[in-house]
Amino acid sequence: MLDEIQYVPALFSHLQPRLDAAERNAQFVLTGSHQFKLVERITQSLAGRVALAKLLPLSLAELHAAGRLRSLDL
């Protein structure tokens, strides 16, 4: 798993040969907070080899269930 991948755009060209030679899918999880930068780099070097998932922030109920929020009364 590699986080904030948009700060190392050169890494995409190094991953491409490994992905092409791989016998199985889903070897890497690449994350980043600036998806618009990721998409630009992916279309250039990893087109057809990736899937993008947009993750939404946690809801108040989820934060409460995880013990990260004391009350839902705002």
How does pLDDT run across 5-59, given as a tens digit for each residue? 878 878 877 887 887 787 777 677 888 776 655 566 665 566 666 777 777 888 8
Radius of gyration of the chain (CA): 17
pLDDT at 17: 82
Residue 64 backbone dihedrals phi, psi, to 5 degrees: -65, -45
pLDDT at 61 (0 to 100): 86
**3, pLDDT greater than 80:** yes
Q: What share of the chain is helix, strand, coil (3-state, %, to 5)?
A: 40, 5, 55
Here the tokens at position 41 are 């780099």
Closest to 42 measured CA to CA, from 13, 67, 21: 13
